Structure 1
Amino acid sequence: MTKLRIGGVPEHFNLPWHLCLDNDEFSEVGLDITWRDFYGGTGQMSKALRDNEIDVAIMLTEGIVKDIIDGNPSKIIQKYIASPLIWGIHVAQDSKYTTIADLKDTTCAISRFGSGSHLLAYVNAQNMDWDTSELKFEVVKNLDGALEALPEDKAQYFMWEHFTTKPYVDNGTFRRVGDCPTPWPCFVIVARDEVIKNNTKDLEALLDVINRTSKEFKSIPMISKTLSNAYEQDEKDIKEWLGLTRWSQEQLSETTITNVQDKLLELELISEKIDYNSICHTFK
């Protein structure tokens, strides 16, 4: 059996992978899959791919596009979530800030530089017509770090996936002052170039398995209750999230890659654009 090490965030988007693992669907096609949760998100996974700690990752589109341009020897092999990610913009419960506009010139908590929380702070700043060169950041590593940093006023706001953070809004740790959806499909499946070269058939088999499950995921009986129990979220919120989320079984389009690069270049987060085939690998 071929061993493949896969990484992803410990969030509801990735339950299809765990269902496939629990049902031994990968082993049925000759794959020995190990899964690793990355609480630090896309920035942490980018480093793990570079360091040969994982072979495949489910990552935020903008984060991996930037890191491939910056030299990460990996490529996007498929779009995973076709819908945008809704980034909630959070402040501490007792914060004096009540609107997104109030947050101008304050410090944004991010998991790490190059992460989605870092890059989307620029998108949000541009949406608000702020000077992006004036943005200030505090690295907090993950959601737990932000739960400490905001009440202690080490940073004044934090951007993270709307539904993942909602329990902390409900319990009074955070207050959400707004949302910032990504202007593109949010999650993609990424593999190291070496794995693409040496394990093409294995990666195709991997995609076949996850695509079968993701295609029927919403119609699985009691799936909202399963998600609610697994991720400790209110089932009503899970149902709302399911209604907004679309899984994909296709590769990203050249138009999408162009749009992402154009935005990153406009925000001065990359210094150049590269061609589509340097970012995406499409299996024949």
Structure 2
Amino acid sequence: MPLRVGYIREHFSSPLLQYAEADGGKTFTLVECPSGTGQIITRLTNDEIDVAVALTDPLISGIARGSEHYKLVGSYVTTPLNWAVITGKDTQYKEISDLQKTTIGISRYGSGSQTMAYVMALQQGWPTDKMQFQVNNDIRGLIHSVNDGTTSAFMWEWFTTKPFVDAGEAQFIGSVPTPWPSWLIAAHPTRASPEALRTFLDTLTTYVRTFDDPAQRAAADVEYIKDKFGYPEDDVKAWLQTVAWTHDCSSIPTKVIADTLDVLTKAGFINSPSSSGFDVGRFVNGDVAKLV
């Protein structure tokens, strides 16, 4: 049976999409999750997918909170994700500090849009135990909520949201980059064999290395993203200046897990199990990935 790989159809997924196009469904099939990483984790939990290419913080926080439905098996994007802070087109909120004690829109509980709201609150010095959220499922629902006034703002990746801002449907009032590399790979601990996962990761590595090559970035990558996602060329080139991928999808830096756990604990999103902290090795499927 081919692996079922959950992903978010965004420009970050370009090497994965190229791999899928070449594979033709022989070894894996893609399962799109438009609501984001929260939806991916739900599908892992419900046996709808076997593998997830998803955001670092929700994956790590889910395991920290006791989920046994997946372990980390690899890395993907090594640079931070720039989360835009977005409000309505006629907003009364002019800067991030105006959002304290308001209701923030999120796609789902446990999603990146929620974890990063906690990081934003930590940076602003707000009490994180008083935060208020409204679930709005996807980017369209989130934009609707800031315009009908049921939420003050939401957080989403900058370039994904920019077309809506350019069209006058919403406004940017700031951004919060992740304090960690932004994308990891996870898999259910038993539904896929270690051999199948290693093959998937090793082959994905070849596509990632090709896509990340400077010559590819200068021309072929730009054209691919323009054609696949319809973004303006200037936006594609600007984004490519900010992003880098791992050159070994089956390795995970110990520091990434430890630093993410540290920030999310300080933000009040997760609780450390003891004075000695978390066991980083518990987060990783050691039969597939290597901690470095």
TM range (shorter): over 0.9
Aligned position for 1:269: 269
The Cα shift of 1:148 comes to 1.1
Note the C-alpha offset of 1:256. Answer: 1.9
| Corresponding residue number in structure 2 for 1:64 | 59
Distance 1:19 1:255 in 2: 29
How many aligned residue pairs are there? 277
TM-score, normalised to structure 1's length? Answer: 0.93
Q: Is the 8 A contact 1:254 1:276 kept in 2?
A: yes
1:209 aligns with 2:217: no
SS at match of 2:147: coil
Given that 1:25 and 1:209 are in contact with CA atoms closer than 8 Å, whether structure 2 keeps it comes out as no
Shift >3 Å, 4+ stretches: 218-221
Secondary structure of the 1:87 match is strand
SS at match of 2:190: helix
CA contact (8 A) 1:46 1:72 kept: no
Contact 1:26/1:209 (<8 A) preserved: no
Letter in 1 for 2:256: T
Q: What do the CA deviations read for 1:171-229 (whole angstroms, capped 9, x no partner)?
A: 1111101110000001001111003xx51111111011111011110443432122022
Alpha carbons 1:12, 1:231 under 8 Å: kept: yes
The code of the aligned residue for 2:67 comes to: N
Partner of 2:37: 42
The CA deviation at 1:102 is 1.4
- Mapping 1:1-284, distance limit 5 Å: 2-24=1-23, 27=26, 31=27, 33-73=28-68, 74-195=70-191, 199-218=193-212, 219-220=215-216, 221-248=219-246, 249-250=248-249, 251-271=251-271, 272=273, 273-282=277-286, 283=288
SS at the partner of 2:23? Answer: coil
1:281 CA displacement: 2.5
How far did residue 26 of structure 1 move? 7.0
Report the 3-state secondary structure (helix = DSSP H, G, I; strand = E; otherwise coil) of the residue aligned with 1:177.
strand
Supply the RMSD in Å over aligned alpha carbons.
1.6
Tell which deviates more after alignment, 95-104 or 183-192: 95-104
Equivalent position SS for 2:2: strand
Equivalent-residue separation in structure 2 for 1:186 and 1:223 (angstroms): 20
Preserved CA contact (<8 Å) 1:7 1:54: yes
| Residue segments in structure 1 that go unaligned for 5+ positions in a row | none
Structure 2 runs not aligned, ≥5 long: none
Q: TM-score, normalised by structure 2?
A: 0.90
- TM-fit CA distance, 1:69: 2.0
How far apart are the structure 1 equivalents of 2:76 and 2:32?
17
- Shift of residue 97, structure 1, vs aligned partner: 1.2
Partners of 1:57 and 1:18 lie apart in 2 by 14
